[in-house]
Structure 1
Amino acid sequence: MLSKRIIAVARSRSAFARYAPASTWHATASHIMRAQFHASHLLQAETVKVPQMAESISEGTLKSWSKQVGDTVEADEEVATIETDKIDVTVNASVSGTIVELLANEEDTVTVGQELFRIEAGQVAAAPPKEDKAPEPTQAEAPKPAETASPTTPPPAPSQKSTPEAPKEPKAAKQESKPETAASSQVPGSRNETRVRMSRMRLRIAERLKESQNAAASLTTFNEIDMSSLIDMRKKYKDEVLKEHDIKLGFMSAFARACTLALREIPTANASIEGDEIVYHDYVDLSVAVATPKGLVTPVVRNTETMNFLSIEKEIVSLGKKARDGKLTLEDMAGGTFTISNGGVFGSLYGTPIINLPQSAVLGMHAIKEKPVVVNGQIVIRPIMVVALTYDHRLLDGREAVTFLVKVRDYIEDPRKMLLAPF
Structure 2
Amino acid sequence: MASSITRIVRRPVATLFMLKSYGHARNFSRCIYPGIAAPVFSNSRRTFSGFLPKISQYQLWSRSFSSGNGDLAEAVVPFMGESITDGTLATFLKKPGDKVAVDEPIAQIETDKVTIDVVSPEAGVIEKFVAKEGDIVTPGTKIAVISKSASSDTSVTPSEKPSQDDPKPAALEADKAKSNVEIKEKPAVVAEIKEKPAVEAEIKEKPKVTSPTPAKLSASEPQLPPKERERRVPMPRIRKRVATRLKDSQNTYAMLTTFNEVDMTNLMKLRSDYKDAFLDKHGTKLGLMSGFVKAAVSGLQHLPIVNAVIDGEDIIYRDYIDVSIAVGTPKGLVVPVLRDVDKMNFADIEKTINTLAKRASEGTISIDEMAGGTFTISNGGVYGSLLSTPIINPPQSAILGMHSIVSRPVVVNGQVVPRPMMYVALTYDHRLIDGREAVFFLRRIKDVVEDPRRLLLDL
Q: TM-score, normalised by structure 2?
A: 0.68
1:369 aligns with 2:371: no
Residues 1:211 and 2:238 are matched in the alignment:
no
Task: Report if aligned partners of 2:124, 2:150 keep a CA contact under 8 Å in 1.
Answer: yes
| 1:190 positional shift | 6.6
Q: CA deviation at 1:416?
A: 0.7
Alignment partners' CA distance in 2, 1:245 and 1:358: 34
Q: Do 2:291 and 2:449's aligned partners in 1 also have CA atoms closer than 8 Å?
A: yes
**Amino acid paired to 1:225:** V
Alignment of 1:269-308 (within 5 A): 269-308=306-345
> Which residues of 2 match residues 138-177 of structure 1 at below 5 A?
none
1:85 partnered with 2:112: yes
CA contact (8 A) 1:42 1:120 kept: no
Q: Which residue of 2 aligns with 1:241?
A: 278
- Which of 314, 328, 333 lines up with 2:351 in the alignment? 314
Give the match's secondary structure for 1:405.
helix
Aligned 1:380-391 pairs, distance under 5 A? 380-391=417-428
Q: In structure 1, the residue corresponding to 2:128 is in which secondary structure?
A: strand
**Deviation of 1:43 (Å):** 7.1
Residues 327, 357 of structure 2: 8 Å contact kept: yes
Distance 2:403 2:154 in 1: 53
The 8 Å contact of residues 71 and 149 in structure 2, kept in 1 or not, is answered as no
Counterpart code for 1:64: T
State the 1:280 CA deviation.
Answer: 1.0
User: Shift of residue 421 of structure 1?
Assistant: 2.5
What CA deviation, in whole Å up to 9, does each residue of 1:4-49 have, x standing for no partner? xxxxxxxxxxxxxxxxxxxxxxxxxxxxxxxxxxx99897422232
Cα distance in 2, alignment partners of residues 43 and 321 from structure 1:
40
Give the match's secondary structure for 1:410.
helix
* Residue 164 (structure 1) aligns with: none
Query: Which residue in 1 is equivalent to 2:55?
Result: none
Q: Which amino acid aligns with 1:111?
A: T
CA contact (8 A) 1:372 1:379 kept: yes
What is the 5 A alignment of 1:73-222? 73-122=100-149, 191=226, 192-222=229-259
Cα deviation digits, residues 42-74 of structure 1 (max 9, x gap): 974222321110111111111111222222211
Post-superposition shift, 1:127? 11
What does residue range 404-423 of structure 1 map to in structure 2 within 5 Å? 404-421=441-458
The 8 Å contact of residues 74 and 124 in structure 1, kept in 2 or not, is answered as no
1:100 & 1:42 partners in 2: Cα distance?
A: 15
The C-alpha deviation readout for 1:214-268, integer Å capped at 9, x for no partner, is 0011000000111111111111011211222221111100000000111011111
What is the CA-CA distance between 1:120 and the residue it aligns to?
2.6
Aligned position for 1:262 = 299
Q: Which amino acid aligns with 1:197?
A: P
Name the amino acid aligned to 2:74.
T
Q: Distance in 1 between matches of 2:153 and 2:318?
A: 55
Opposite residue 82 of structure 1, the aligned amino acid is I
Contact preservation (8 Å) 2:90, 2:110: yes
TM-score (norm 1): 0.73
Label 1:197 to 1:311 Cα distance change in 2 as closer, same or farther (>3 A): same
Per-residue deviation, residues 81-130 of structure 1 (Å, max 9, x unmatched): 111110100010111122223110011111122222222334866999xx
Q: Quick one: which amino acid aligns to residue 47 of structure 1?
A: E
Tell me if the contact between 1:253 and 1:313 (Cα under 8 Å) persists in the aligned partners.
yes
Q: Which amino acid aligns with 1:335?
A: G
**How well do the aligned residues superpose, as a CA RMSD in angstroms?**
2.1
Deviation at 1:200, TM superposition (A): 0.3
CA contact (8 A) 1:97 1:122 kept: yes
Provide the residue aligned with 1:350 in structure 2.
387
Offset from partner CA, 1:344-392 (integer Å, 9 cap, x none):
1111111000000100000000011111112222222211110000000
Match of 2:367 in 1: 330
Partner of 2:85: 58
C-alpha spacing 1:100/1:265, structure 2 compared with 1 (3 Å): same
What 5-or-longer segments of structure 1 have no aligned partner?
A: 1-38, 129-188
CA distance in 1, matches of 2:362, 2:123: 26
Match of 1:394 in 2: 431
Equivalent pair of 1:62/1:108 in contact (CA under 8 Å): yes
Question: Partners of 1:49 and 1:194 in 2: how far apart?
Answer: 33
Q: Assess, with a 3 A threshold, how the Cα gap between structure 1 residues 373 and 194 changes in structure 2: closer, same or farther.
A: same
